[in-house]
Amino acid sequence: MRVLGVDPGLTRCGVGVVEGVAGRPLTMRGVGVVRTPADAELGHRLVAIEQGVEQWLDEHSPEVVAVERVFSQHNVRTVMGTAQASAVAMLCASRRGIPVALHTPSEVKAAVTGSGRADKAQVGAMVTRLLRLDAPPKPADAADALALAICHIWRAPAQNRLQQAVAQNRLQQAAALHAAKTSAATPSAQKGRTA
């Protein structure tokens, strides 16, 4: 599985591509940051992020795009910028028919370091170790993007099994409901024919 991780942000949007499967060594295919000038107009910044994400999609052809789920912070302005950059990444992937997975920061930290409260240095150190890199990717946004991709690769099999179980359960419930409606309708239909 090849996953493009996106750590959304208006000034620095981290991007990283990881390939592999759960339980086996993973390989980094690319890492970087899409940057926009803080003094540029918002619309221009979002277009720059779109263009950057599109280049990564063109170059790496990921099967899935994993994006950090935006959560509420005290700084509403920061949250808004993060949410806008996140939406751009999701739009780019969805326009191409590429599935999008959202992971919370604590999910990513727990998957990569074993603790949902890990700091950026710990995440960077574990990403370096897991991907057998010489040094932690800089800036931290780039390491976070790789951590998102790793998290998705490791969690996808369990999530897929859960989704399949839920879908199977819904299918069984729908079949049971249909059978109940059919059996309830059948006697009255037969009564109408014999009358």
Catalytic positions, written as ranges = 7, 68, 141
Q: Quick check: 15 and 86 in contact, CB under 8 A? A: no
DSSP string, the chain: -EEEEEE--SSEEEEEEEE--TTS--EEEEEEEEE--TTS-HHHHHHHHHHHHHHHHHHH--SEEEEEPP---S-HHHHHHHHHHHHHHHHHHHHTT--EEEE-HHHHHHHHHS-TT--HHHHHHHHHHHTT-SS--SSHHHHHHHHHHHHHHHHHHHHHHHHHHHHHHHHHHHHHHHHHHHHHHHHHHHHHHH-
Cα(39)–Cα(192) distance, integer angstroms: 76
